[in-house]
Structure 1
Amino acid sequence: MNVLIIYTHPNHQSLSYAFLQRTIEGCQENKEIDEIKVLDLYEEGFDPVLVFNEQKRRRDMHKEPSLEIYRQQLIWADKIIFIYPIWWGRPPAMLLGYIDRMFASGFAYQDKGSLLPEGLLKGKSAVCISSMMGPALYPMFWLNNAHKVLMRKALLQYVGIRNIKFFEFGNMESAKGRQEQKLERVHRYFQAVSN
């Protein structure tokens, strides 16, 4: 199994970075995982800005030469892991910009003239690891699970990815947030995951 980790946080002293390190450690200890690649969007200097004009048309976005390396990463991966904080009830703008540019028609999905398109990333699985300052139940009761709906239905299922796991941790800036237990939970999961 090939694993692509897409990490989105500008600070390498953050809890998100600790989740990245534990994820890598768990994957390295898993005999089912052949290779791991990490894409740190901030460190990479990924440009999240969409540009459409006479030279760059939306229908050609899936062929944008500067994005070919990132398309090859997604094709290569059997499992895609997203690690990010929840800010304002949703992933950071940097990750949303990556999604806007990478999950393009002609690459991630194909319109078939029916209600839903054909997902072109079928057979892959995904894990979303997110943390937030507020309580864990806040997104469910106050925001109608907007974050999970966005990632599961509006993105991953839309492009054909059905096997999706969420780790959504709240109260992460609290002294009672049990950060170490949550880091260990993620570590153990990746030690044993098989698909």
Structure 2
Amino acid sequence: MKILIIYTHPNHNSLSYAFLQKVIKGSNENPNIKELHVVDLYEEGFNPLLVFNEQKRRRDMYRDPHLEKYREQITWADKIVFVYPIWWGRPPAMLMGYIDQLFAANFAYKDKKGLLPEGQLKGKSVVCVSTMKGPTNYPLLWLNNAHKILMKKALFHFVGIKKVKFFEFGNMESPKGKQTKKLEKIYRYFKKVDC
């Protein structure tokens, strides 16, 4: 199995970075995982801004040469792992800009007759590891599960990825947030995951 990790946080002293390290450590100890690649969007200086004009059209985004290496990474991966904080009930703008540009028509999906397109990323799986300041049930109780619906139904299912797992860790700025226990949970999961 080949794993692509998309890490999105501007601070390497953050709890998100600690979760990234546990994903890497567990994956490196897992005999099912043959290769692993990490993309740190902030460190790479990924440009999340969409630009459409006479020279750069939305319908041509799937062949933008500036995004070729990222498309190759997604194609290469069996499992894509996203590690990010939840800010204002959703992933950071940097990650959403990555998604807007990479999960484009004629790469991640193809339009066809009917209501839904044909997903082009079938057979892949996704894990989302996210942290937030608020309580763990905040997205469910106050936001009608908007984060999971956005990521799972509006994005991953749309492009053909049906196997999606979430780890949403709340109370992460609290001294009673059980950070060590949650970090170990991620480490154990990636040490054993098989597909």
Shorter-chain TM-score tier? over 0.9
Q: Deviations over 1:110-139 (max 9, x none)?
A: 000210000000000000000000000110
Q: After TM superposition, which residue ranges in structure 1, 4 or more long, deviate above 3 angstroms? A: none
Report the residue type matching 1:124 in the other structure.
Answer: K
Equivalent residue, structure 1, for 2:9: 9
What letter corresponds to residue 91 of structure 1 in structure 2? P
2:167 is matched with 167
Separation of aligned partners in 2, 1:100 and 1:57: 14
- 1:130 equivalent in structure 2: 130
In the other structure, the counterpart of 2:26 is 26
CA distance in 2, matches of 1:49, 1:114: 30
How far did residue 184 of structure 1 move? 0.2
CA distance in 1, matches of 2:158, 2:179: 32
Q: How far, CA to CA, are the matches of 2:157 and 2:100 in structure 1?
A: 15
Give the secondary structure class of the aligned counterpart of 2:144: coil
Report the secondary structure of 1:127's partner residue: strand
The separation in 1 between residues aligned to 2:152 and 2:19, in whole angstroms, is 20
Question: Could you report, residue by residue, the CA deviation over 1:33-84 in whole angstroms, capped at 9, with x for unpaired residues?
Answer: 0000000000000000000111001110000001000000000000000000
**5+ long unaligned stretches in structure 2:** none
What percent of counterpart residues are identical?
68
- In the other structure, the counterpart of 1:59 is 59
How many residue pairs align between the two structures? 195
Deviations 1:3-52 (A, max 9, x none): 00000000000000000000000000000000000000000000000001
Pairing 1:103-182 to 2, within 5 Å after superposition: 103-182=103-182
For residue 194 of structure 1, what is the aligned residue in structure 2? 194
CA distance in 2, matches of 1:106, 1:146: 27
TM-score of the two chains, using structure 2 as the length reference: 1.00
Q: Does the residue aligned with 1:190 lie in a helix, a strand or coil?
A: helix
Aligned to 1:92: 92
